[in-house]
Structure 1
Amino acid sequence: MMDTNIATLVSQQQQAVIIEKQQKQFLRGKIDQQVADSDSVLGTTSDTTHILLNELSGFINKLSQAQSLAEMRASTESLKAAIGSIEQQVTDGSLEFPYQVKGQAQVVDEICARAQGVSQILKQS
């Protein structure tokens, strides 16, 4: 019985799941070694979220008070200064976000699945 190949003990679907998890772990290890550890990546994500939250809040507050097209345009200046250059970098190919590599539809599906999973746990407690 010890000579039985593991492939005969698990289904092809289970094998695919195992391989996918191994591939993710491999890639995460490379990211950890070559780019940043998980805590640093989380910190960068947090910084990004805070910048966007602050800038978007300012934009919305200014936009909601704008009385003219000129005031509407002026309301975008801080947000444009903070993140406006990113679009050009993406357009010219000097910057590529991981979600673009993974595929936006897949990322949105992951976001929704994780959000739903967390929500279900919160409802149970």
Structure 2
Amino acid sequence: MMLNENITEKPQLVDHDGVEQAKNTLRNKINYFVADSASLTGTATDIAHVLLHELSGFVNKLSEARDMDEVNASVVSMKQAIGDIETKVGNNELRFPYQVKGLDVVKEEVIERANGVSELL
């Protein structure tokens, strides 16, 4: 198939195309300067595993607590594992992408993706 040499115009971008290009540019920067997709997925998986493990321990201990001392003791492991995160966020040592994007935007993305995947299942 031969391309028509008379075609010189570029396709016109619509607003949505510009947004998609900006997203792709940002994703490329993240991939280059921060981590590739597989590494980011690994980090997200690590976070999920830490939270699942700590939450499981918390729920099990809390379900057996008979007084406030035991309730307080049930959170010790979780506090040791992730308690410093709140302080780092509060001191601006750590900033999560969802904070930059905005919680409402992130929740809407989660809802859209969850519903989309659920519809395909």
Match of 2:112, as an amino acid?
A
Aligned equivalents of 2:8 and 2:85: distance in 1? 56
Cα distance in 2 between the residues matched to 1:110 and 1:36: 22
Residue 66 of structure 2: aligned partner = 67
* Offset of residue 21 of structure 1: 0.7
Letter in 2 for 1:31: I
Residue type of the alignment partner of 1:102? K
Q: How far apart are the structure 2 equivalents of 1:5 and 1:33? A: 28
Is the helix fraction higher in 1 or 2? 1
- What's 1:86 paired with? 85
Q: Structure 1 residues 4, 40: closer, same or farther in 2, change over 3 A?
A: closer
Q: TM-score, normalised by structure 1?
A: 0.88
Q: Assess, with a 3 A threshold, how the Cα gap between structure 1 residues 5 and 39 changes in structure 2: closer, same or farther.
A: closer
Write the letter of the residue equivalent to 1:60.
Answer: V
The question of 1:52 aligning with 2:51 is answered: yes
Where do 5+ consecutive residues of structure 1 fail to align? Answer: none
Structure 2 gap ranges (5+): 1-5
Q: Which runs of 4+ in 1 moved over 6 A?
A: none
Q: 2: distance between equivalents of 1:120 and 1:30?
A: 32
Aligned counterpart, 1:6 = 11
TM-score, scaled to structure 2:
0.91
Is residue 2:31 matched to residue 1:32?
yes
